[in-house]
């Protein structure tokens, strides 16, 4: 840690969660977890402590305190455990929006009839963190920096700004589905008081370094 700089505690989530239909089948998404891991690595190299909560199979960065999860509920429980002691939460994980209303304890056998799957919403982890942060502020407890990601295929900036406001975020990163699984990405970054910054065809490592740099200045 460079002289004069404070070591911060980052809580970072990564990867796409799995919502099990039965013991061998699940609902998930195409997220690789690369962005979350790049953020963890950038924070560690900047001299900070990192708890990485991940649903990805990637190798964790050296120096990260790794917490492996699979489901949204497991990720939520892990975030609730580590949130009080963090200075910054970065929700880079692609958390499933829905989970089976009821999962089978045994493998569902294939039949000739159509199978109807009933889904229910999963907990909104970032919304929970935003509300928790407001309570901290009202109680004069040091609040956290909250960072979210918005993956949108239309009305990118408008939807991202709405998410930032609705969930009480300090920074949001907006990009399109074309960034999923890629080494190079394009994205927009915004804080509530400043205009959008655009980053075109940059590595996820470079984007992660920029995000960590912005957070360092805010803290």
Q: How many domains does the chain have?
A: 1
Q: Is residue 113 part of a domain?
A: no
pLDDT at 214 over 80: yes
Q: Is residue 179 part of a domain?
A: yes
Q: What is the pLDDT of residues 92-139, one digit of tens each?
A: 999 999 999 999 999 999 999 999 999 999 999 999 999 999 988 888
Q: Is residue 30 part of a domain?
A: yes
Q: Measure the CA dihedral 58/198/128/54, to 10°.
A: 0
- Judge whether 21 and 103 are in contact, CB under 8 Å: yes
The mean per-residue pLDDT over the stretch 17-33 comes to 94
- Judge whether 167 and 144 are in contact, CB under 8 Å: no
Q: What is the pLDDT of residues 34-66, one digit of tens each?
A: 999 999 999 999 999 999 999 999 999 999 999
Phi and psi at residue 214, in whole multiples of 5°?
Answer: -65, -45
- Identify the CA nearest to 16 among candidates 26, 6, 7, 5: 26
pLDDT band at residue 4 using 50, 70 and 90 as cut-offs: low
CATH number for the domain including 132?
Answer: 3.40.50.10300
Average pLDDT, the chain: 93
pTM value is 0.93
Active site residue 155: no
Q: Is residue 110 part of a domain?
A: no
Structural domain harbouring 205: 9-101+118-218
- pLDDT at residue 136, rounded to an integer: 87
Q: What is the pLDDT of residues 147-186, one digit of tens each?
A: 999 999 899 999 999 999 999 999 999 998 777 777 788 9
């Amino acid at each position: 840690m460079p002289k004069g700089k404070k070591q911060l505690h980052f809580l970072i989530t990564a990867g796409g969660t799995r919502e099990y239909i039965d013991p061998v089948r699940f609902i998930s998404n195409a997220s690789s977890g690369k962005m979350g891991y790049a953020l963890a690595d950038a924070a560690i190299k900047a001299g900070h402590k990192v708890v990485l909560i991940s649903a990805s199979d990637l190798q964790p960065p050296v120096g990260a305190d790794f917490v492996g999860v699979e489901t949204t509920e497991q990720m939520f429980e892990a975030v609730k455990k580590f949130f009080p002691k963090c200075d910054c939460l970065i929700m880079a994980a692609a958390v499933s929006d829905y989970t089976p209303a009821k999962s089978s304890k045994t493998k569902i056998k294939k039949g000739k009839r159509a199978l109807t799957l009933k889904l229910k919403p999963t907990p909104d982890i970032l919304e929970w963190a935003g509300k928790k942060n407001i309570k901290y502020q009202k109680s004069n407890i040091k609040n956290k920096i909250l960072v979210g990601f918005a993956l949108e295929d239309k009305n990118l900036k408008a939807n991202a700004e709405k998410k930032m406001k609705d969930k009480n975020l300090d920074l949001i990163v907006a990009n399109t589905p074309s960034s999923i699984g890629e080494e190079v990405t394009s994205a927009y970054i915004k804080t509530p008081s400043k205009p959008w910054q655009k980053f075109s065809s940059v590595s996820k490592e470079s984007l992660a370094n920029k995000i960590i740099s912005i957070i360092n200045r805010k803290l």
